[in-house]
């Protein structure tokens, strides 16, 4: 069957103007045109999947027929062979070696770092002070991922360098992904800053690896797991380890910081929800700090996290078919580009009534049991599902519980959004009001 073409197609430019001007407003409505809709990004022909069941096929049940798609190619020069970009057997091998760093007992250990870092941030705020919440959350997310990666003395220097450089890498990296390649070679300030940030990060990470190899002990951090891991008696080279470290920093900081900032904004904007959260925290924790063991009892807090990840997820990810693939009544040839959009799926009113309303109470066990597979995919799915998914959810629950135990954050103006690869908050100015 011919694939329906999305509306608002321009000659030559295709759907790029609609994508750039309307962003998710454009793609959230594509389900009205079919389960698979053709989208032309300039000369690149892509297939936008709008149905949960076909999303599930792309990510999970037919996942092995795909590799990463066009958007990921742009990150290759600096993320190299890291997990986000690699494919096939190589990806599987690396993933198996990295997985132990994200096992339950490891996350439990990172959870105390998370609680300590969140508590030290909350202790610095002054009553009545206006905070730029997304900046605070970025700072916190760098500390948490940085300390989980590098716990040794020399690792502390690396965390400082990450703090200084990683946002230049992420933001300029994103700009690169959206612009033609020749722009990267121009002597622009952004390019120079990007190159310098990458050079600094590389130097410091390689230094930590070198010092680790000299002593060889397991510090219980992510880096130790990476360096101790072996497949068929072979471990990672320094270059491979560096690529994986930069991948974890790129994938794990900004994503979590955005979710945290939005969760705090929504709490401030919805006093009834905030009140219910406070009641749960008072009952479960009383006056003591939150721990990993408390998470199963923090059911409403967890619902807030689920709803935040529904409302504010990644815009889309891309895949390329390795062979002919049948998706519903559409047959795609090998080499076809496919787009899957957590944002579009999470705002589809067929599965999430009143999708623009922040409603944690929707996440009842009954709702979850009727939600179709593939309708809620904040972390993707299948073999390429987010490696840091439990890490991130733990970090968000622990931070919300720690901050909300002491403070109410009251928005001083409506949120502004800058939509790039995800809805980024812009200047979430919120007043810190002590809880009585």
Residues at the site binding ligand HEM, with contacts judged by CB under 6 A: 83-84, 95, 145, 247-248, 251-252, 255-256, 259, 313-314, 317, 378-380, 384, 386-388, 391-392
| Alpha carbons 389 and 151: distance in angstroms, whole number | 21
* Closer residue to ligand HEM (CB): 14 or 146: 146
Task: Tell the smallest beta-carbon distance from residue 233 to ligand HEM (Å).
Answer: 23
In this structure, how many other beta carbons lie within 10 angstroms of the beta carbon of residue 7? 13
Please report which helix (H) or strand (E) contains residue 425, including its range: strand 423-425
* Closer residue to ligand HEM (CB): 172 or 256: 256
* Closer residue to ligand HEM (CB): 141 or 284: 141
* Closer residue to ligand HEM (CB): 248 or 284: 248
| Alpha carbons 435 and 412: distance in angstroms, whole number | 17
Task: Tell the smallest beta-carbon distance from residue 257 to ligand HEM (Å).
Answer: 9
Q: Which of 184, 191, 177 is nearest to 72 (CA)?
A: 177
Task: Tell the smallest beta-carbon distance from residue 84 to ligand HEM (Å).
Answer: 4
* Closer residue to ligand HEM (CB): 39 or 226: 226
Q: Which of 129, 121, 135 is nearest to 432 (CA)?
A: 129
β 44-49/337-340 pair status: parallel
What burial class does residue 381 get, using C-beta atoms within 10 Å of its C-beta: 0-12 exposed, 13-18 middle, 19+ buried?
A: buried
Residue 39 sits at φ, ψ, to 5 deg, of: -130, 120
Per the listing, tokens 């490891």 go with 106
* Closer residue to ligand HEM (CB): 138 or 256: 256
Task: Tell the smallest beta-carbon distance from residue 413 to ligand HEM (Å).
Answer: 25
* Closer residue to ligand HEM (CB): 155 or 313: 313
| Alpha carbons 436 and 120: distance in angstroms, whole number | 19
* Closer residue to ligand HEM (CB): 223 or 386: 386
Task: Tell the smallest beta-carbon distance from residue 376 to ligand HEM (Å).
Answer: 12
387 Cβ neighbours under 8 A, 6+ residues apart: 83, 95, 98, 99, 102, 248, 251
In this structure, how many other beta carbons lie within 10 angstroms of the beta carbon of residue 203? 11
| Alpha carbons 403 and 325: distance in angstroms, whole number | 47
Task: Tell the smallest beta-carbon distance from residue 164 to ligand HEM (Å).
Answer: 19
Task: Tell the smallest beta-carbon distance from residue 390 to ligand HEM (Å).
Answer: 9
Q: Residue 419 in 3-state DSSP?
A: strand
Farthest-apart Cα atoms in the chain, separation:
63
* 294-302 long-range Cβ contacts below 8 angstroms, 24+ apart: 294/401, 295/394, 295/397, 295/398, 298/397, 298/401, 300/276, 300/360, 301/277, 301/397, 301/400, 301/401, 302/363, 302/393, 302/397
Task: Tell the smallest beta-carbon distance from residue 392 to ligand HEM (Å).
Answer: 4
Task: Tell the smallest beta-carbon distance from residue 340 to ligand HEM (Å).
Answer: 8
* Closer residue to ligand HEM (CB): 244 or 280: 244
Closest residue to ligand HEM using C-beta atoms? 388
Q: Token pair of 256, please? A: 């979590």
Task: Tell the smallest beta-carbon distance from residue 191 to ligand HEM (Å).
Answer: 26
* Closer residue to ligand HEM (CB): 52 or 408: 52
Q: Which of 21, 19, 41, 20 is nearest to 30 (CA)?
A: 19
- Please state at what angle helix 254-269 crosses helix 133-149, rounded to 10 degrees: 140
């Amino acid at each position: 069957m011919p694939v329906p073409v999305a509306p608002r197609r321009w000659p030559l430019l295709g759907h790029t103007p609609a994508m750039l001007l309307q962003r998710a407003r454009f793609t959230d409505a594509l389900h009205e045109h079919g389960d698979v809709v053709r989208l032309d990004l300039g000369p690149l022909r892509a297939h936008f999947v709008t149905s949960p069941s076909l999303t599930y096929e792309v990510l999970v049940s037919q996942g092995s027929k795909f590799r990463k798609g066009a958007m990921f190619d742009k990150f290759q020069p600096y993320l190299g062979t890291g997990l986000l970009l690699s494919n096939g057997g190589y990806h599987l091998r690396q993933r198996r070696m990295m997985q132990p760093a994200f096992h339950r007992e490891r996350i439990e250990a990172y959870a105390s770092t998370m609680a300590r870092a969140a508590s030290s941030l909350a202790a610095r705020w002054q009553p009545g002070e206006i905070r730029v919440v997304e900046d605070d959350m970025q700072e916190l997310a760098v500390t948490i991922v940085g300390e989980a990666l590098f716990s040794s003395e020399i690792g502390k220097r690396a965390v400082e360098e990450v703090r200084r450089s990683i946002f230049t890498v992420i933001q300029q990296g994103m700009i690169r992904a959206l612009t033609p390649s020749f722009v990267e070679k121009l002597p622009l300030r952004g390019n120079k800053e990007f190159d310098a940030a990458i050079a600094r990060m590389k130097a410091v990470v390689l230094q930590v690896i070198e010092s680790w190899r000299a002593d060889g002990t397991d510090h219980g951090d992510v880096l130790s797991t990476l360096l101790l891991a072996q497949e068929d008696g072979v471990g990672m080279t320094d270059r491979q380890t560096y690529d994986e470290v930069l991948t974890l920093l790129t994938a794990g900081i900004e994503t979590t910081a955005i979710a945290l900032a939005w969760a705090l904004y929504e709490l401030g904007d919805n006093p009834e929800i905030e009140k219910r959260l406070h009641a749960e925290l008072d009952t479960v924790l009383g006056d003591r700090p939150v721990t990993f063991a408390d998470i199963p009892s923090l059911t409403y807090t967890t619902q807030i996290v689920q709803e935040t990840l529904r409302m504010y997820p990644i815009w889309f990810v891309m895949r390329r078919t390795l062979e002919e693939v049948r998706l519903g009544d559409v047959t795609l040839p090998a080499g076809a580009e496919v787009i899957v959009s957590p944002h579009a799926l999470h705002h589809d009113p067929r599965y999430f009534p009143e999708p623009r309303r922040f409603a944690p109470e929707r996440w009842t066990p009954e709702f979850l049991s009727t939600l179709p597979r593939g309708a809620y995919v904040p972390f993707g799915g299948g073999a390429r599902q987010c490696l840091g998914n439990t890490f991130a959810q733990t970090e968000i629950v622990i931070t919300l519980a720690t901050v909300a135990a002491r403070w109410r954050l009251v928005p001083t103006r409506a949120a502004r959004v800058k939509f790039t690869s995800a809805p980024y908050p812009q200047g979430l100015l919120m007043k810190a009001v002590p809880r009585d």
